[in-house]
Amino acid sequence: MNWEVVIGLEIHTQLSTKSKLFSGAAVGFGAEPNTQTTLVDLGMPGALPVFNKEALRMAVMFGHAINAEIGMTSVFARKNYFYPDLPKGYQTSQMDHPIVGKGYLDVTLDDGTTSRVGITRAHLEEDAGKSLHEDFHGMTGIDLNRSSTPLLEIVSEPDIRSAKEAVAYVKMIHSIVTYLGICDGNMAEGSMRCDINLSLRPKGQKEYGTRTEIKNVNSFRFIEKAIYTEIERQSDILEDGGKIVQETRLYDPEKNETRSMRSKEDANDYRYFPCPDLLPIELTEAYVEEIRQTLPELPSQKAARFQSEYKLSEYDAHVLSSSRAMADYFETANKQVKDAKLTANWVMGELSKTLNQEQLEIAQSTVSAEAFGELLIRIKDNTINGKTAKDVFQAMWLGEGSADQIIDAKGLKQVTDTGAIESMIQTILDANQAQVEQYRAADEDKQKKMIGFFVGQVMKASQGKANPGIVNPILAKMLKG
Amino acid sequence: MFDQSISTLAAQLRNKDISSVELTRYFLDRITKLDPQLNSYITLSEDVALKQAAHADTQIQNGNASLLTGIPIAHKDLFCTAGTLTTCGSKMLNNFVPPYESTVTSRLQNAGAVMLGKTNMDEFAMGSSNENSYYGAVKNPWNLDTVPGGSSGGSAAAVAAGLAIAATGTDTGGSIRQPASFCGITGLKPTYGRVSRFGMIAYASSLDQAGPMAKSAEDCAHLMQAMAGFDDKDSTSSETPNDDYLSNLNAPLSGLKIGLPKEYFGEGLDAGVADVIMAAVKEFENLGAEVKEISLPNLNLSIPSYYVIAPSEASSNLSRFDGVRFGHRCEDPKDLLDMYMRSRAEGFGQEVQKRIMVGTYALSEGYYDAYYLKAQKIRRLIKQDFTNALQEVDVIMGPVAPTTAFGLGSKTNDPVAMYLEDIYTLSVNLAGIPAMSIPAGFANKMPVGLQIMGNYFAEAKLLNVAHQYQQNTDWHRQTPDMAKGA
């Protein structure tokens, strides 16, 4: 049968506040266990939560970025369940009155098509701690550093129809939250985690099929693979006339499979009720508007501007604006180069290639945007050619100095002295009399093919330093005799 | 000396008639001699007390003393006190020494008060008789066969017996006022949000409020000066500025409008208690007050509403006592579930377990609307009743409890009768308004408290009304015989 996949995503975004959602403890990754905690995060008797207003500001920013209704009165609720790394026995979250209401995002796929994904809500909640099962001799260790870290849970409508679309949506959310500066976007450290709700239905059917929820998928690649795997699993069951069990599943990237975690019957009754330790958050129109004014340029706006201001193609503009760091890098470099196409090609080409090889983010580039711009200027003013520039860039990457220092040190400056080039060509022509004769006897079409040999000889003789723009016309003239 | 007022003792301390260390030793001696009859203290913090007293003496010497400097008081054992065992009346916390100090105890300590110890209470503040303590029942100093009331029964008994000048208490459904009434002392439950809840082990967060318990309204006012006020560590604490609780104490009462809710004088009210209350009202008329009957029509709904909201919040608040990080953990748990179940079954007493189960049930899917949401609606109605009434009158008066202190064990098997004890106090917590209990006479040879309720943040008014009454009567100066025995 022809199945249609229906996907809704819940994305947990860790907000990059300095302190926790309900305590003054610092937020950070990788600290010694239980060193970033206060009485509140430890759930000590008598400890009370105090709401971090910075998290509120960030949530409202996000609401604006997805064209959402802002909850003018939002309420924290307790989600009650027992778990050793949940110190209070409840998670403080939001239920009936989230801070961000209905919104949407227009998602552009790689093939250029755009689809609108509805966002049901986004709410603030605290993270739990971590249970550590290794190194405790069969016991379990508890690390509460992450306890009460602020999360914004972004819940989409079941509007997504493919793995590609899901990934494009998550990438867009990633791009927005990093643009807004409300999340560091570091998925490897768990700053963004995704729950995938997925069901299949026969194409054309209106009712949704039974869904499963895949918990805590934490990379774009795993999201895509988990979805493909789960689609296959579900369609196999349905094709065999079986029924999908509503349950929570876990994606195992090593085996590339999803596994059952718990069924609906085992699901907790969370006994949500408004948290009596926290007052409802009441917002004023003025506050909401003030935050709207602080919104930075968002990815889609930036892409549009790159097309109109720099005359970049839609594709280039989209790629460059997908991360704020890359867009900033491009613009900073281009401020000096003043050749957007050249800068764009090099950012998306050599720089991105090297970053990918080294598995680094652009923020970790060893070559700054300014230094990168200086290199590109040397291409633009013909000091070096593109091929040499790649070598210079690699040297810069290894910290050998600025573009000019490396060009000087290695003597890579292009030869632009016409006299020197003429004598170099003469030497080559003299040494290759036979080829010169053949060239002169050939017709124009053949000559165009044959000239490459001489250009190559010149480049070889000049160790790549001869400027092709100058070599070519002189060579053509001298070959004519 | 044990029955002196704070201002008298403060003057004696300043005049060097006595030192705080001497005063503190005097009370520690009294406790050692008399408390075995009462069981009003769970922990006696002798070392802390003497250290604080010595510090107080230095402060007095240096002229840096406040009125509370060097005054020995006691704290209900649900205020976390750094370095001193804090049990909340429960086996669950019988090994719990907090590394932090509650705002209430910290403010009183900063004002110079000396902590004698931690007083007994119903476990997790759940109870009206102080019989639900893991550390044993407390006896009423007026009659050792009766209860002192609860849940702040230890604080009430200690103050009544002269085992502390004053004490802190907390009131979720009457836990300051009812024991104050039963033990013949003065207690104030402030407006919700007036006193910080930080470091106070929660029973029902939206109802819990700490307040002073002392011999007189004036002494309560002294404690309030230190205890009350905004605390940025408690999000529900009010930013409304504090009143000066002392400056208004002597304002005359002529023209004061008193409302008597007819629902407070109906069926179930002991005739002797009713007589005492009406005599007290008469006294206020003599002082120039006008009395009128009013109605609080939803009073009868306060018990069901309270017994849904309070257990619901408690069921969640008490989830942190899971044996993982602090408190009681069962021996040799075989797995996680076993650890949870046995630690909690062993650590919590019966009443606590009952309320956790009631609350868990009320919040469960499918029952939430019928119980919790309905109870919240009733709560709004009750609040409205008070708001309406307090537009017509300045204060509302009535009994604190339908009876005087009842016999130990007499109601333990009748939970409904026990819950009915709170009929006149619960609605005040549901509304969040302040209320006091002041000694107004005796019935059945036991003290009877008059309840005075006022508008939000009208603590200074209540203290003024109570103080004027106490200037003209001596019910608050009565001392039980057992207190004179040492």
| From B40, B45, B128, B175, active-site residue | B175
| pLDDT tens for each residue of A358-410 | 988 898 999 999 999 999 999 998 888 888 899 999 999 999 999 999 988 88
Task: Report the alpha-carbon distance of residue B285 to residue A384 in Å, rounded.
Answer: 104
Task: Report the alpha-carbon distance of residue B146 to residue B159 in Å, rounded.
Answer: 16
Mean pLDDT, residues A459-470? 79
A51 → chain B, closest CA residue: B235
Check residue A40 and give its pLDDT: 94
Q: How confident is the model at residue B452 (pLDDT cuts 50, 70, 90)?
A: very high
Which residues from A are below 8 Å from B198, CB to CB? 46-48
Q: Is the dihedral of CA B31, B34, B35, B38 positive or negative?
A: negative
From the CB of residue B407, how many other CB atoms can be counted at a distance below 10 Å?
12
Pairing assessment for the beta strands A281-282 and A90-94 based on DSSP bridges: unpaired
**Residue B175 annotated to the active site:** yes
Task: Give the residue carrying structure tokens 């009206």.
Answer: B128
Query: Any CB–CB contact under 8 A between B340 and chain A?
Result: yes
The answer to whether the peptide bond before residue B129 is cis (omega within 30 degrees of 0) is no
The answer to whether the Cβ–Cβ distance between B324 and A142 falls below 8 Å is yes
Task: Report the alpha-carbon distance of residue A125 to residue A91 in Å, rounded.
Answer: 7
- Domain range summary for chain A, segments of one domain joined by +: 3-290, 297-409, 418-480
Task: Report the alpha-carbon distance of residue B425 to residue B177 in Å, rounded.
Answer: 8
Which residues from A are below 8 Å from B360, CB to CB? 271
Residue to mutate among A269, A273, A282, with most B CBs inside 10 A, is A273
Nearest CA-CA distance, residue A81 and chain B, Å: 8
Residue to mutate among B363, B371, B377, B429, with most A CBs inside 10 A, is B363
**pLDDT higher for A442 or B122?**
B122
Q: How confident is the model at residue A265 (pLDDT cuts 50, 70, 90)?
A: low
| pLDDT tens for each residue of B345-397 | 999 999 999 999 999 999 999 999 999 999 999 999 999 999 999 999 999 99
| pLDDT tens for each residue of A116-159 | 999 999 999 999 999 988 878 888 899 999 999 999 999 999 99
Nearest CA-CA distance, residue B24 and chain A, Å: 28
From the CB of residue A37, how many other CB atoms can be counted at a distance below 10 Å?
24
The answer to whether the Cβ–Cβ distance between A45 and B201 falls below 8 Å is yes
The answer to whether the Cβ–Cβ distance between A273 and B102 falls below 8 Å is no
Q: How confident is the model at residue B194 (pLDDT cuts 50, 70, 90)?
A: very high
Check residue A411 and give its pLDDT: 79
| pLDDT tens for each residue of A8-64 | 999 999 999 999 999 999 987 788 999 999 999 999 999 999 999 999 999 999 999
Q: In degrees to the nearest 10, what's the CA dihedral of B362, B366, B371, B377?
A: 130
Q: Residue B183 belongs to what H/E stretch?
A: helix B177-183
Q: Which of A82-91, A158-167, A425-434 has the lowest mean pLDDT?
A: A425-434
> Which residue in the set A43, A50, A90 is minimally distant from B325, CB to CB?
A43
Size of chain A in residues = 481
Put simply, the chain B residues between 181 and 210 with a CB less than 8 A from any chain A CB are 197-202, 204-206
Size of interface A-B (CB pairs under 8 A): 102
Q: How confident is the model at residue A472 (pLDDT cuts 50, 70, 90)?
A: confident
Task: Report the alpha-carbon distance of residue A170 to residue A167 in Å, rounded.
Answer: 5
The answer to whether the Cβ–Cβ distance between B98 and A90 falls below 8 Å is no
> Which residue in the set A44, A88, A277 is minimally distant from B236, CB to CB?
A277
What spatial distance separates the first Cα and last Cα of chain B, rounded to whole Å? 11
A272 → chain B, closest CA residue: B363
Q: Looking at this predicted complex, what is its ipTM? A: 0.95
The answer to whether the Cβ–Cβ distance between A271 and B100 falls below 8 Å is no
Task: Report the alpha-carbon distance of residue B150 to residue B170 in Å, rounded.
Answer: 10
Does domain A418-480 bear CATH number 1.10.10.410? yes
**Is a pLDDT exceeding 80 seen at residue A464?**
no
Task: Report the alpha-carbon distance of residue B406 to residue A41 in Å, rounded.
Answer: 43
The answer to whether the Cβ–Cβ distance between B235 and A271 falls below 8 Å is no
> Which residue in the set B78, B86, B232 is minimally distant from A50, CB to CB?
B232
Yes or no: say if B387 and B379 are a contact pair by the CB < 8 Å rule: no
Task: Report the alpha-carbon distance of residue B282 to residue B312 in Å, rounded.
Answer: 41
Query: Any CB–CB contact under 8 A between B336 and chain A?
Result: yes
| From B76, B139, B215, B461, active-site residue | B76
Task: Indicate the angle between helix axes B20-38 and B6-14, nearest 10 degrees.
Answer: 140
The answer to whether the Cβ–Cβ distance between A271 and B315 falls below 8 Å is yes
Question: Helices H, strands E: what count in chain B?
Answer: 15, 11
Which residues from B are below 8 Å from A272, CB to CB? 363, 368
Pairing assessment for the beta strands A150-156 and A141-143 based on DSSP bridges: unpaired
Query: Any CB–CB contact under 8 A between B22 and chain A?
Result: no
Check residue A431 and give its pLDDT: 87
Mean pLDDT, residues B194-217? 98
Check residue A440 and give its pLDDT: 87
Q: What is the mean pLDDT of chain B?
A: 97
Query: What φ, ψ does residue B451 adopt, rounded to 5°?
Result: -95, 130
Check residue B486 and give its pLDDT: 58
Domain at B6-256+392-485: CATH architecture: Alpha-Beta Complex (3.90)
Check residue A113 and give its pLDDT: 86
Pairing assessment for the beta strands B166-170 and B72-76 based on DSSP bridges: parallel
Nearest CA-CA distance, residue A275 and chain B, Å: 9
- Domain range summary for chain B, segments of one domain joined by +: 6-256+392-485, 300-375
| Cα→Cα distances B416→A469, B158, B311, B411, B427, Å | 101, 28, 15, 9, 17
Query: Any CB–CB contact under 8 A between B33 and chain A?
Result: no
B372 → chain A, closest CA residue: A273
**Is a pLDDT exceeding 80 seen at residue A221?**
yes
Size of chain B in residues = 486
The answer to whether the Cβ–Cβ distance between A271 and B365 falls below 8 Å is yes
| pLDDT tens for each residue of B34-69 | 999 999 999 999 999 999 999 999 999 999 999 999
**Is a pLDDT exceeding 70 seen at residue A266?**
no
Q: What percent of chain B has pLDDT over 70?
A: 100
The answer to whether the Cβ–Cβ distance between A45 and B202 falls below 8 Å is yes
Residue B7 C-alpha from the chain's centroid: 22
Which DSSP state fits B301? G
Which residues from B are below 8 Å from A279, CB to CB? 235-236
From the CB of residue B209, how many other CB atoms can be counted at a distance below 10 Å?
26
Yes or no: say if B156 and B449 are a contact pair by the CB < 8 Å rule: no
B81 → chain A, closest CA residue: A46
Helix (H, G, I), strand (E, B) or coil at B278: helix
> Which residue in the set B78, B198, B316 is minimally distant from A90, CB to CB?
B316
The answer to whether the Cβ–Cβ distance between B316 and A89 falls below 8 Å is yes
Task: Report the alpha-carbon distance of residue A354 to residue B353 in Å, rounded.
Answer: 63
The answer to whether the Cβ–Cβ distance between B320 and A87 falls below 8 Å is yes
A274 → chain B, closest CA residue: B313
Mean pLDDT, residues A337-351? 95
Nearest CA-CA distance, residue B123 and chain A, Å: 14
The answer to whether the Cβ–Cβ distance between A271 and B368 falls below 8 Å is yes
| Cα→Cα distances B385→B98, B259, B393, Å | 41, 13, 12
Mean pLDDT, residues B295-317? 96
Closest CA to B476 of B225, B190, B223, B220: B220
The answer to whether the Cβ–Cβ distance between B233 and A90 falls below 8 Å is no
Task: Give the residue carrying structure tokens 């929570």.
Answer: A248
| pLDDT tens for each residue of B240-284 | 999 999 999 999 999 999 999 999 998 889 999 999 999 999 999
Check residue A110 and give its pLDDT: 78
The answer to whether the Cβ–Cβ distance between A273 and B368 falls below 8 Å is yes
* Token reading at A253: 């990237």
Q: In degrees to the nearest 10, what's the CA dihedral of B228, B232, B236, B239?
A: 60
Query: Any CB–CB contact under 8 A between B322 and chain A?
Result: yes
Yes or no: say if A243 and A50 are a contact pair by the CB < 8 Å rule: no
Nearest CA-CA distance, residue B244 and chain A, Å: 27
